[in-house]
Structure 1
Amino acid sequence: MKTIAVIGLGKFGFYLAKNLSRQNYHVIAIDNNQQRVQQISDYIDDAYILDATNKNALEEAGVTDLDTVIVSIGENIEASILTVMALRDLGNKRVIAKAISTTHGEILSKIGVSKVMHPEKIAGRALMKSLVGDLNVEKIDLSNSMRILTFKIPLRWKRKNIQELINIDKSVKLMAYKTSGNWLLEISPTHTIQEDDIFSFIGNSVAIEAFYSKIIT
């Protein structure tokens, strides 16, 4: 079983860790907030309260020489950067990190982050790309076999409900969706899909591409 570490268990990191575990990955979840770690412990066995900028603490938690580590630290840019530096020193092969600004993202890229995520920009890219006929918004490869796909829903799905979308392939998991200008992490299967809704799914790379093809054709 492949191991992926998720550092930072805010809303984005929490649901990412939870859904990776559901996809049968061994997940190491880390945060310095006791309540967040307790919450994720309902879904993940290896959850640790620690300072992710501390290289020794990361090493003791098993975050060394991993294929993929995801850093989802929120507003603390310094902690985000120091965590990435520690992860690189520990031989982790691929570090994916969330950025809260363009400058933050540029710094992360310069210190060796393989992929920078800007979750708050997804909606803007969705609108722009849909206007030129490209519904694909964002593909993030978490590993060779795991992908996050975020896209603006095609018009033909308007007025159908989320459960119909989920039923296409239940191995592909809905992480979050945006409707009426708000991102929602609690999934409501009966939600009626609106014209500008945006959906973020996670799943096996092959399965999620097949799933996406069925949605747009």
Structure 2
Amino acid sequence: MALFAVIGLGSFGATVALELTSLKHDVIGIDTEKKYVERLSDQISHAVIADATDEHVLEELNIKNCDAVVVAIGEDIEASILCVLHLKNLGVDRILVKAKSKSHHMILTHLGITKIIHPEEDMGIRVAQSLSYPMVRRYMALNNERYIVKIEVGQHLNGIEFRQIMDHSDGVKTLLLQRGSHVIYDVALGTLLQEHDILIVEGPVEILRKLATRFAFK
């Protein structure tokens, strides 16, 4: 169990705080708006009405003892930057920040923040991906070039040898195949695919995009 702080309890911040709580972590939720704090007061470890742009307030809350801090302040870029500066002054190592704009992102980069989040942009990408590749049920970026994707086998591929699908997919590694409750970790190229099989594969994003088109529902 870890201790996290989420500063800014709007839609994004509240979602992060609740998800961390569901994962059995302790969460300190901070916001200047009473209504946001009260909304989460019974659902997370600690919900506090406080001004995170005041370094003394953050110090009193022992924020420096947190394993990581998520700055999810929305519209007020100045408040976000002030908060980040105070967190760095207090010696917080892991700071994740929600960025509102490209200029906000650039300033955060100059402040040494390496984990910058664009919730709306990220969601837009996910929606576009789901529309373009409906057979891809879930994906996770390992970095800008490599992804892990979960792909469902459609009826049109029922009985097709796995090798036919993986042809010319150099660099793609098959992590597992799930068939009902049965999981196969070493998938032989001669394996005959069945409708509703689930494949988890990892590789370069460009190769995965080409591979995904072979799984496209007909």
Which digits, 9 at most, give the CA deviation of each residue in 1:110-169, with x for residues without a partner? 1122300001112443336986998636579xxxxxxxxxx9985769xxxxxxxxxx9x
Q: Is the 8 A contact 1:130 1:152 kept in 2?
A: no
Gaps of 5+ in 1: 141-150, 158-167, 169-210
| Residues 1:85 and 1:129: Cα distance change in structure 2 (over 3 Å) | farther
Residue 35 (structure 1) shift: 0.9
- Report the Cα distance in structure 2 between the residues aligned to 1:8 and 1:76, rounded to whole angstroms: 11
The TM-score, its normalising length taken from structure 2, stands at 0.61
Question: Contact (CA 8 Å) 1:3, 1:26: kept in 2 or not?
Answer: yes
Residue 107 (structure 2) aligns with? 107
Q: Which has the larger radius of gyration?
A: 2
Match of 1:97, SS state, is strand
Q: Secondary structure at the match of 1:80?
A: helix
Q: Is this contact kept in 1: 2:151–2:200, CA < 8 A?
A: no
Q: Mark the CA change 1:75 to 1:128 in structure 2 (over 3 Å): closer, same or farther.
A: same
Indicate the residue corresponding to 1:116 in structure 2: 116
Match of 2:165 in 1: none
2:163 maps to what in 1? Answer: none
Q: Name the structure 1 match of 2:41.
A: 41
Distance verdict in 2 for CA 1:154–1:67, change over 3 Å: same
Instruction: Report the Cα distance in structure 2 between the residues aligned to 1:77 and 1:212, rounded to whole angstroms.
Output: 42
What is residue 200 of structure 2 aligned with on the other side? 213
Structure 1 pair 51–138 and aligned structure 2 pair: CA distance change class (3 A)? farther
Contact 1:64 1:87 in 2 (8 A): yes
Determine what percentage of the aligned residue pairs are the same residue. Answer: 36
Query: 1:177 is matched with which residue?
Result: none
TM-score of the pair, normalised by structure 1: 0.61
Instruction: State how far apart, in whole Å, the 2-side matches of 1:105 and 1:59 are.
Output: 25
Structure 1 stretches of 4+ moved >4 Å: 128-135, 137-140, 151-157
Consecutive unaligned residues in structure 2, runs of 5 or more: 155-180, 182-197, 202-211
Q: Does 1:136 align with 2:139?
A: yes
1:64 is paired with a residue whose SS is: helix
- Give how far 1:14 is off: 0.5
